[in-house]
Amino acid sequence: MTRVAAIDCGTNSIRLLVADLHRDGSGDTRLTDVERRMEVVRLGQDVDRTGRIDPVALERTIAAARDYAERCRAHGVERVRFVATSASRDADNRQDFVDGVRDALGVVPEVITGTEEAELSFRGALSVLDRAEGAGPPHLVVDIGGGSTEFVLGDGEQLTSRSVDLGCVRLTERHLRSDPPTHDEIAAARVEVRARIDEAAAVVPLERVRTLVGVAGTVTTVTAHALGLATYDPAAIDGASLEPEVVHGSCASLLAATHAERAAMGFMHPGRIDVIGAGALIWSEIVSRVETDVGPRGVGGSGEDGSGGAGLGRVLTSEHDILDGIALSLS
């Protein structure tokens, strides 16, 4: 057993997973959680507009990294991996971020590519599939972040992925500035979302999808809303299987809600109040596109050639994502 720490620093939040890595007799590796934490630091605040990390946002992030360093020491962590994604990739002054994290945590943050991000998300998400009936391959894992969205399709042997510049923070800053968003703002945002999905679909064959799995905070929040949860309950959300119509209804409700109405929802993290509408719009459009590309041929099974063609019957949610993938990479 090895105690490890995985840190994922995205556009909106920075998250910590302290876990014990176990290798069983067959050589497979599994995780046992010790602690999970998330802080909304909005590192990507205005990066899309300015091309630079805001000094105040950077200080919020470094303060969280110092706190995580203390927690790692308290838990006796043996190995740490810190991964940074969209906001850090896009910023001209990302070296300030790298230097600040290294000083606070004692490790150099890895500013990974979109492809690496997609692969780590896919590996982390797979843990939900063995509990979901009929969740056969090919699997499409979609990770909606603050600045980017990763699409990764896998059938157990080969992964095809594409990362696009589409996220809840980026889309909110560009288009959804009113509270609630106006019809024109939503229309403009929808055009951009569909264009970015087209980019992904040019590389990732969405028509082959048999099982669609959504991960990260946007999807889990939409799922909490769809399930009618009074508070955020990871056990209820992880592995939840929803009909596409239910996903669309939940997304539409969150997009139309005011900030005050969102804040009153017991499952809503305060750091998502202003950006969940954009995230919900992205998720609904992705589900719609997969439904269209797979085709309305009923539910269950797939073509003998693995081409899908069975219709998209359910949409799965996984609480396990890139953070778990980072931890597993330390084995």
Query: What integer pLDDT is reported at residue 305 of this predicted model?
Result: 43
Ranges for all domains in the chain classified under CATH 3.30.420.150: 124-324
Q: How far apart, in whole angstroms, are the C-alpha atoms of residue 52 and residue 118?
A: 24
Query: What integer pLDDT is reported at residue 233 of this predicted model?
Result: 96
Query: What integer pLDDT is reported at residue 92 of this predicted model?
Result: 86
> Which has more confidence, 66 or 29?
66
Average pLDDT, the chain: 89
Superfamily for 124-324? Exopolyphosphatase. Domain 2 (3.30.420.150)
Query: What integer pLDDT is reported at residue 299 of this predicted model?
Result: 38
Q: What would the pLDDT profile of 136-157 be if each residue is shown by its tens digit? A: 888 999 999 988 899 999 986 6
Percent of the chain with pLDDT over 90: 65
Query: What integer pLDDT is reported at residue 26 of this predicted model?
Result: 66
Query: What integer pLDDT is reported at residue 111 of this predicted model?
Result: 85
Q: What would the pLDDT profile of 117-141 be if each residue is shown by its tens digit? A: 888 888 888 866 665 666 788 899 9
Can you give the chain as a three-state secondary structure string? CEEEEEEEECCCEEEEEEEEEEECCCCCEEEEEEEEEEEECCCCCCHHHHCCCCHHHHHHHHHHHHHHHHHHHHHCCCEEEEEECHHHHHCCCHHHHHHHHHHHHCCCCEECCHHHHHHHHHHHHHHHHHHCCCCCCCEEEEEECCCCEEEEEECCCCEEEEEECCCHHHHHHHCCCCCCCCHHHHHHHHHHHHHHHHHHHCCCCHHHCCEEEEECHHHHHHHHHHCCCCCCCHHHHCCCEECHHHHHHHHHHHHHCCHHHHHCCCCCCHHHCCCHHHHHHHHHHHHHHHHHHHCCCCCCCCCCCCCCCCCCCCEEEECCCHHHHHHHCCC
Q: What would the pLDDT profile of 283-331 be if each residue is shown by its tens digit? A: 999 999 999 999 864 434 444 444 444 577 789 999 998 899 999 999 8
Ranges for all domains in the chain classified under CATH 3.30.420.40: 2-112
- Is the predicted pLDDT of residue 228 greater than 80, yes or no? yes
- Give the residue-averaged pLDDT of 278-284: 97
Percent of the chain with pLDDT over 70: 91
The CATH architecture annotation of domain 2-112 reads 2-Layer Sandwich (3.30)
Query: What integer pLDDT is reported at residue 129 of this predicted model?
Result: 66
| Model confidence band, residue 183 (pLDDT cutoffs 50, 70, 90) | very high
| Model confidence band, residue 266 (pLDDT cutoffs 50, 70, 90) | very high
Query: What integer pLDDT is reported at residue 11 of this predicted model?
Result: 85
Query: What integer pLDDT is reported at residue 133 of this predicted model?
Result: 62
Query: Residues, the chain, total?
Result: 331
